[in-house]
Structure 1
Amino acid sequence: MSTIEESDLSEKSRKLWLKAIAALEQRNADFAINLLEALVKEEPDFLTGRKALRRAQIQKAKAGGGKKKFFGGLGAFNAKALAKKSWHDALADVEKELASDPFNVKVNNALFDLAVANEQYDLAEFALETIKEGHPEDTKSLHKLAQFHLDQDNPDKASEIFGAIVKRDPSDLVAVKGEKDATARASMRQGNWESKGGFRDMLKNEDEAKSLENASRAGMTKEQIRAQLTNGLGEYGENQNDLALVRKIGGFYEKLEEWQNAHQFYAWAHHLSEGDSALERKASQMEERASDEMIASLQAELEKLSGEEAAAKQAELDELVGARSARLTEAARERVERNPTDPQLRFELGQHLYNSGEFTEAIPHLQRARNNPHIRTRSILMLGRCYDAKGMLDMAQSQLEEALSELVTMDNTKKEVLYALAMVAEKNGDKDKYLGSLKEIYEADYGYLDVAHRVESSYAG
């Protein structure tokens, strides 16, 4: 049993899906929910539709001012009774309960257990991720999510979840050990050691084994990373076509923030992999950071100059910025042409087009990207910025408010959205929304950009 994609939908279901997307874009949550409920009943294995339904339910719950519940308000819901029903009937019962309380811990845990029992692992992950979004303080569910990722052989994700638990509760020794073990396991898999009967079996002696074990540990000093890099470069001199080794060296340079060297090794790793898109993206990111570093260096030099020297340096800087923007945009465009259905690539192209001042061209790519729940909020934020840049302030404000309605915790993304909303409100002459947005940031992060100055100066005089 597996999930289905949009291309697998029947003609009737596809029409429902398109209408639901349109309703979501128009912020008509009630209509979207009605359509999506009918859709998941007709196509219960369409996970993307179920995720969209949950997002609409969350929007409606927030708009109604309802509080997130852990266990209350479940009525006659009986998780144990689900095991006696067919997969689709049990799923329908769970959806009925989540309609009014999408973040409910007990029901989402029941959904997780039901999905695992039916080998619907993407749905199982989604159930626990929903709890994580609504109840980030619920470390019991976070532990369950981390263990699920380990069971699914996703140590990178497990390490990230364990890290979130440790950040919230540094005394949680199980999470501390879990993060360390998951990080080591991810490093071993990256080097392709597990597939060869254990990484020690690959090595010539215990000293080399210990060296690579040290490389897998998080929190190495720069001196330790440099030592590992030196060892790796020695091996590279003997074999320049070892993909795992080349990727590892790229990772060491990345940790040392030597972006140009990191770019060269990731680019070579991409070539050796015969087109691994993740390595291609990593190489592009390193090239971008190398350009950022060069631009920052030129800007620092420019501040010390005046007259003709300053004008010459400014011309050099402008040329570099323009060339960088054009190069990144063209590379992103080529990736989209090769993988036109990848929403992450659409988002990256839209972002580069925005940075190049091509606001109109960026909009359709960002609209496509926002259908992916993992990058939806970032895509809506960028759309708001595009509309702002085009002077379409009412549409910019609408997009930013939509993004804000989907954010729960005060993280960096929420601060970005609030700040952007404040700037649009200021242009619109809406002083209350302008200050209200800034004060939300001020209460959480005094040092964010110029928020403190803007808020405090509003009380002067």
Structure 2
Amino acid sequence: MADENKKAAKCFQHGNKAMQAGNWDMAVQMFSQCAKLVPHNLTYRQLLRNSTKKKYDENKKGAGTLAKTKLISLRSKVKKLKKAEEWEEAMALAEEGLLLNPWDAQLNVDVAECSMALDMGEVARFAYMEAVKAAEKDKDIHLAFAELLENRGEFSEAFKIWERVAKIDPKDVNVSRKLSALAARQATADANFEGAETASEAALHKNFAKDSRSTHGQEGDTETALRHQIRREPEQVEHYIKLARHLKQSKKYEESYEITKTALEVSGGDPGIREQLEDAELLLMKHNVDLAKERANETGDPDHRKQVAELSKEWRARRIEVLSSREQRHAQNMNVKIELAELVMQLQEWSRAIPLLQKASQDPRLKTRALVMLGKCFMYDNKMALAKGQFERAVPGLNAESQPETYKEAHYLLARVCEETGDNEKAITHYGEVLVIDYDYKDANARMEKLQAS
């Protein structure tokens, strides 16, 4: 894999120069080679597609009539290969077709479906995006893209695609129900279960965030008004969701949980609302842990401290149970994988955390964090060479100003691993990176001085 990355990097350099010179044939050739060598790299795929479009002067037709016969043959072969689940071969042929016409909607869909089968979520997302651009009126492609986004936990983006489906087919009775369900789901990018809110409660898409903002004193946002809406229209799930959210903001966690439970019954078991009920349950459990901590701190009673430990253990076990289920249902949602990995690492279940983090590291937004966590897993599992590799991949992506704690921890742990493996020169270098930021960080100074003295 390292050799393939090196080869791809050289091709990328040649492709970049060709692109700057406007030599689109050469750029396409180089970026095509990059994508073959490192298929999961999204950037290579994007550059390839953009360069191919430039090659054809953005004509939206590609090579034109001369390529039609070959494209028909390629589509037929791709279809057979997909049916036989020979995904890599199918993708290679689909990419060959896209070199002739990068605007071909079906071939882009083929790349997306192959990418999903090969666990390349970012590439699948990009391919579906290209497909819906090429086929703005194709309802089936839009629905497939929306499903992918929802499985990845990108509920706000899925919401947008369903809005487009509503315009394509205004008579579809499922659209309003789906929009309602997506509006009820709370999407997340960065939050985790350790914070004040659970993962799927962290952020709401701007299209429906207005309903969830606290606008104290305005008509319709008080608890009384919201309960009145439910009495007036008991079949409307949105009213229950709004009330549950209002109760949560008012820190009435138990009532919020009960109302969400009713919402699930009214919805007929909607999966999105079921997840909200799980989140409400976890938030209630966390609230009980916090109350127990306050009492234990006030009394200093050993029995109260024991109760805190027991409640915390139950809370973590339930979070692991919830996330394990979601990780299966939303295989493309890398946020769930990294949160689950963080929890099982607390139990020192390194072999369970490692594959989750390896997949999460494929997401550019989570790559650095996942690599640091992978390094820890390998380090604590006494696989120092593997730990060193992960930390070395992580540190170039860290910023001392925006991520000071992670920056210090990663360099410190890498130094410890280098020290353990006898690479003292590198250990000194990485301890130095830590001390420049924080001179009193753990025992970095003492360890560095000892190494320098030896």
TM-score between the two structures when normalised by the length of structure 2: 0.50
Distance in 2 separating the partners of 1:294 and 1:301:
11
Equivalent in 419, 426, 433 of residue 436 of structure 1? 433
Per the TM alignment, residue 377 of structure 1 is displaced from its structure 2 partner at its CA by 4.6
Which residue of 2 is the match for residue 402 of structure 1? 393
Change in CA separation of 1:267 and 1:151 when aligned onto 2, cut-off 3 Å: closer
SS at match of 1:235: helix
Which residue of 2 is the match for residue 89 of structure 1? 99
Distance in 2 separating the partners of 1:377 and 1:219:
32
Equivalent in 263, 266, 279 of residue 269 of structure 1? 263
Contact 1:425 1:431 in 2 (8 A): no
Which residue of 1 is the match for residue 413 of structure 2? 424
Contact 2:368 2:394 in 1 (8 A): yes
Per the TM alignment, residue 320 of structure 1 is displaced from its structure 2 partner at its CA by 0.8
Per the TM alignment, residue 416 of structure 1 is displaced from its structure 2 partner at its CA by 5.7
Which residue of 2 is the match for residue 8 of structure 1? none
Which residue of 2 is the match for residue 166 of structure 1? none
Contact 2:264 2:274 in 1 (8 A): yes
Which residue of 1 is the match for residue 352 of structure 2? 361
Distance in 2 separating the partners of 1:27 and 1:320:
50
SS at match of 1:52: coil
| Residue ranges of structure 2 left out of the alignment (5+ in a row) | 16-27, 64-96, 104-128, 146-156, 165-178, 186-206, 420-426, 450-454
Equivalent in 31, 37, 42 of residue 54 of structure 1? 42
Per the TM alignment, residue 329 of structure 1 is displaced from its structure 2 partner at its CA by 1.7
Contact 1:298 1:313 in 2 (8 A): yes
Contact 1:393 1:424 in 2 (8 A): no
Per the TM alignment, residue 247 of structure 1 is displaced from its structure 2 partner at its CA by 1.8
SS at match of 2:283: helix
Which residue of 1 is the match for residue 296 of structure 2? 302
Contact 1:32 1:53 in 2 (8 A): no
Per the TM alignment, residue 379 of structure 1 is displaced from its structure 2 partner at its CA by 3.7
Per the TM alignment, residue 246 of structure 1 is displaced from its structure 2 partner at its CA by 1.6
**Is 1:454 aligned to 2:448, yes or no?**
no
Change in CA separation of 1:344 and 1:326 when aligned onto 2, cut-off 3 Å: same
1:233-312 counterparts in 2 under 5 A? 233-237=227-231, 240-306=234-300, 309=301, 311-312=302-303
How many residue pairs match? The answer is: 311
Which residue of 2 is the match for residue 190 of structure 1? 183
Distance in 2 separating the partners of 1:365 and 1:191:
27
Contact 1:33 1:56 in 2 (8 A): no
| Residue ranges of structure 1 left out of the alignment (5+ in a row) | 1-22, 59-73, 94-111, 126-147, 156-185, 193-212, 443-450
Contact 2:350 2:377 in 1 (8 A): yes
SS at match of 1:357: coil
Change in CA separation of 1:217 and 1:266 when aligned onto 2, cut-off 3 Å: closer
Q: Which amino acid aligns with 1:332?
A: L
Contact 2:4 2:37 in 1 (8 A): no
1:325-345 deviation per Cα after TM superposition (whole angstroms, max 9, x unaligned): 122222333444556676555
Contact 2:412 2:430 in 1 (8 A): no
Per the TM alignment, residue 312 of structure 1 is displaced from its structure 2 partner at its CA by 1.2
Distance in 2 separating the partners of 1:337 and 1:151:
25
Which residue of 1 is the match for residue 322 of structure 2? 331
Change in CA separation of 1:397 and 1:290 when aligned onto 2, cut-off 3 Å: farther
Which residue of 2 is the match for residue 321 of structure 1? 312
Contact 1:369 1:375 in 2 (8 A): yes
Contact 2:354 2:374 in 1 (8 A): yes
SS at match of 1:297: helix
Q: Which amino acid aligns with 1:333?
A: S
Distance in 2 separating the partners of 1:84 and 1:340:
35
Per the TM alignment, residue 315 of structure 1 is displaced from its structure 2 partner at its CA by 0.8
Distance in 2 separating the partners of 1:234 and 1:225:
12
Change in CA separation of 1:438 and 1:237 when aligned onto 2, cut-off 3 Å: farther
Per the TM alignment, residue 266 of structure 1 is displaced from its structure 2 partner at its CA by 3.6
Contact 2:431 2:445 in 1 (8 A): no
TM-score between the two structures when normalised by the length of structure 1: 0.49
1:274-309 deviation per Cα after TM superposition (whole angstroms, max 9, x unaligned): 454433333333333333333333334333444xx2
Contact 2:62 2:102 in 1 (8 A): no
Which residue of 1 is the match for residue 133 of structure 2? 116
Distance in 1 separating the partners of 2:181 and 2:323:
31
Equivalent in 15, 30, 33 of residue 6 of structure 2? 30
SS at match of 1:85: coil
Which residue of 1 is the match for residue 203 of structure 2? none
The alignment yields a C-alpha RMSD, in angstroms, of 5.6
Contact 1:396 1:424 in 2 (8 A): no
**Which of these two proteins has the greater Rg computed from alpha carbons?**
2
1:222-264 deviation per Cα after TM superposition (whole angstroms, max 9, x unaligned): 4559943331122334555532212222232344454444444
